[in-house]
Amino acid sequence: MKKIRWGYGVVIAGLCVSALLLFGANKKSQKRISASPDVNNGGLMDSHDTLHSNQNEPMPSSFPKNYFGPPLHGVLSLSGSFAELRNNHFHSGLDFRTDGMEGKAVLAAADGYVSRLRVGAYGFGKAIYLAHPNGYTSVYGHVRSFNGAIQRYTIDEHYKRESFEAEIYPSAGVLKVKKGDTIAWSGNTGGSGGPHLHFEIRKTSNDEIINPLLFGIKVKDTMDPFIKSLLLVKIDPALQEQFGYYPQRISHQAPALSKALKTIAVPSGTYGLALSCTDYFTDFGSRLGLNYSALYVDNVKVFEQKLEYFKFDETRYMNHHIDYAFFRERGLRYARFFKASGNHLRFYQGQNNGFIEIKPDQELRIKAMVNDCEGHFDSLIFILKSDKNIKLGIPALKKGDLYWKARTAMASNFSTNNFKAEASAGNLYQDVNIFYEKRPAPAKSVGEMHCLYGGKIPLHKAVSVQIKVPEAYAGSPSKLLIIYKDAVTGQVAAENSSFSNGWVSASVKNIGFYYLMEDQTPPFIATIKTGRNLRFRISDNLSGIEDYRATVDGLWVLLEYDYKSGALWGTVPKSIGRGKYKLILTVTDKMGNKRSFKQLITL
C-alpha cells in the first residue's frame, strides 16, 4: 500500500499554531525506494505524477562505497544524523551511540595518517583527524583519550606548549594508521551532551563535509520518516521588511477537525510551504533529520532539496533554511520547501524557488515528500484553494521613531548618543527595519538597556554593538562588559567585550537587548583532591573562564577542563619524584580577574 497521507482541516491565524498531522498510513509500512534521491522510483510517486526535470535523475556525486569501514565495533546505531537541524547550524556528521558509556574502541575507518589533533574544552573536545590517500579525511570527535603512540605524541605536545587547549598538526606519515586500528576511546568531551562518537568524512582539499552514508557506511535503519505538521507562509516582501520575517501563516491542525477535510483555503497570492519532519532509525526516541525532499504542484515536481554535503561557512544558513521566527516563537523547526532570498545554500533545485502562486478561483494539488538515505519515505497531499473571503491576520508590531535600517547587500549602521550597531554586507539574510528604544536596565547594571526588537531575525555573521560608558560611572571601565538579553526568552549571556575611548564594544551573534555590567569578581576554585592526582572545580560569576595554569614547584602540570561540570583534573607526572612541593593553581576570567590556590603537597 502506498504510504501517502492527506491533509486535514485548516485554521487561519496571524500567528500560527503548530499543525499536527497525526493521521495517515500505518507507520509499520516499510516501503522503500533506492538510496538515490531519484523520487521516480519504488512507487514513491502516484501514477499520474510527472517530473519537471529528467525522469532518470542520478545522484549528483559518486563516492567510493567500500573504502571506509565502521568507526566502532558491532552494529552501528545513530543518535544524530548528517545535516540534522541544530542550533544555528547543520550537524556536520553522524553521531554513533555508545550505549551511554565511555571507553569504547574507536577504529580507523581506512588506512592513512593523523593529520590533526584537536584538544579543548569546547566543540569536539578531543578529536582526531585522519588523512587518507583517496583525498578524504575522516574525523572522530568527543573522544575520551587517544590510543598508544597518538596519546603519547599529544601529551608531549601539551607539555611543549604548556597548554591543555591545542591544535596539533603532525607531519604527514609520523603517525600512520591501518584500517581497523584502535586510534582512540569514545567519550563525552567538549560540547557533547552525552557519551557518543561524532564521525565525519570531509574532502581533504577544502574541508567540505559529506554525508558518510553516501560512502556505504551501514547503520541500522528500519523505520520510516514522519511528516508531523505544516506551515503555509504568505510571501509578502513589504511585511517581511517590517517584521524581519513573513508574519502571515496558516496552520493545519488535525486532531480537532474532521479527517474528511482535505482542502486549505487561502487568499490568492504567493505562498511558501514549510514542514516539521522527523526521521526515525530504530525507535521513536531518536528524532533525526532528513536529507531528501520534494514539492509537487499539480503533479509536477517544482522543487527539491538534497542535503548531502556543505562547507562550514555555509552551516549557519540553517537559520534561513527553516522558518526561524516560528522556531523562536514555539521552539519547533520547520524546514522550508522554498528558497528565500538571501539563502545561498546549494541544496536546492527547481522552478520559481519553490514558491507557490495561486490565482483567484484557482485550485492546486500540493504534494510534499520526504525520504532518507535508506529509501524510507513519507508523503502528504492537500488541495490549495483560492478564496477571496479568507483574510489573514497581521500581528501587532512595536513601532516608534528610531529604526535601524539593516541591509544585506551593503554595510549598515545605527547610532544614538549612547548606543551603536553596525552590520557588514552579508551579515543579514534580508533587508529589515529594526525598531530601537531605551529601557531601564536590570539591577546591578550600569546605565540603560538598549533594545533592538529583532529577536526573530537570524544573523548570518556577528554584528558589532557599542555602548557608551555613562559619565556618572565611577568604577573601572576596563571591567565593564556587554550583556545580551534574549528578547524572546529573557535569557542573558555575557559577551566578549573590550573598552576603548569611552565605549564598550562586542561582536554579537543575536539581535536583542544589551546593557553593561561590571565584573570585578575573580573565579571560584573548589579543592576536591590534591597530591599526585589533582582535582578541582572552577566557576565564574559572569564573564566566564578564560585560562588556568597549574604548577608544581614552578613546573607546569597538565590539567584537563570540562566546562559543562566545571571539573578540572590531572596527574602530576612521574618525572616529578616523591617529596613535598608547592602547588599553585591560578584561574583567570575573561575580564582579567584572577584567583590563585596555593598548597604544599606530598607526592
What pLDDT, in 10s, does the model give residues 478-506? 999 999 999 999 999 999 999 999 999 99
- The count of C-alpha atoms lying within 13 angstroms of the C-alpha of 101, restricted to the half-sphere facing its C-beta, is 6
List beta partners, residue 516: 446, 482
SS3 of 448-507: the string is EEEEECCCCCCECCCEEEEEECCCCCCCCHHHEEEEEECCCCCCEEECCEEEECCEEEEE
Contact 585, 594 (CB under 8 A): no
Confidence of residue 286 (pLDDT cuts 50, 70, 90): confident
251 band by pLDDT with thresholds 50, 70 and 90? confident
User: Where does the pLDDT of residue 285 fall: very low under 50, low under 70, confident under 90, or very high at 90 and above?
Assistant: confident
pLDDT higher for 263 or 292?
292
- Coil, strand or helix at 135: coil
28 contacts: CB under 8 Å, gap ≥ 6:
none
Residues, the chain: 603
Cell of 327: 522556531
Long-range contacts of 59-67 (CB under 8 A, 24+ apart): 59/214, 60/306, 60/308, 61/210, 61/214, 61/308, 61/309, 63/210, 63/214, 63/215, 63/216, 64/134, 64/215, 64/216, 65/215, 65/216, 66/216, 67/110, 67/132, 67/134, 67/215, 67/216
Average pLDDT, the chain: 88
Give the span between the Cα atoms of 87 and 316, in whole angstroms: 9
Pair 7, 230: CB distance under 8 Å: yes
H/E element holding 589?
strand 580-589
Residue 216 main-chain phi, psi, to 5 deg = 90, 5
pLDDT band with cut points at 50, 70 and 90 for residue 169:
very high
What digits encode the pLDDT tens for the residues 210-229? 999 999 999 988 899 988 88
Exposure of 100 by Cβ count < 10 A (0-12 exposed, 13-18 middle, 19+ buried)? exposed
- Using an 8 Å Cβ cutoff, are 460 and 426 in contact? yes
In this prediction, residue 22 carries a pLDDT of 32
Cα–Cα distance list, 59 to 216, 225, 226, 292, 311 (Å):
14, 20, 23, 11, 19
pLDDT of 257 strictly over 90: no
Looking at residue 454, its pLDDT comes to 92
Task: For residue 271, name the pLDDT band (cuts at 50, 70, 90).
Answer: very high
Does the pLDDT at position 524 exceed 90?
A: yes
Q: Identify the residue whose cell numbers are 571507553.
A: 103
Between CA 405 and CA 572 the distance in angstroms is 57
Q: How far apart are CA 54 and CA 73, in angstroms?
A: 41
pLDDT, residue 61, reads 56
CB 521 within 8 A of CB 553: no
Q: Is 579 helix (H, G, I), strand (E, B) or coil?
A: coil
Cβ partners under 8 Å of residue 54, min gap 6: none
Secondary structure class of 200 (helix, strand, coil): strand
pLDDT tens-place string over residues 108-137:
999 999 999 999 999 999 999 999 999 999
Query: 497531499: which residue's cell?
Result: 381
* pLDDT digit string, tens, across residues 384-411: 999 999 999 998 887 778 999 999 999 9
Instruction: Output the nine-digit C-alpha cell for 193.
Output: 551532551
Whether 360 shows a pLDDT value over 50: the answer reads yes
pLDDT digits (tens, 9 = 90+) for 544-562: 999 999 999 999 999 999 9
Residues 6+ apart with CB under 8 A from 87: none
CA distance linking residue 480 with residue 256, whole number of Å:
53
Q: How sure is the predictor about 15, in pLDDT bands with cuts at 50, 70 and 90?
A: very low
What are the Cα distances from residue 406, in Å, to 92, 413, 486? Answer: 30, 7, 19
Question: What number of other Cβ atoms are within 10 A of residue 135's Cβ?
Answer: 10
CA distance 227 to 70: 30
User: Could you read off the pLDDT of 440-463 as tens digits, one per residue?
Assistant: 999 999 999 999 999 999 999 999
Predicted local distance difference test score (pLDDT) of residue 568: 98
Q: What is the DSSP string of 28-71?
A: T---B--SSS-SSSTT-S-TT-B-SS-SS---S----SSS---S
Q: What is the pLDDT of residue 431?
A: 94
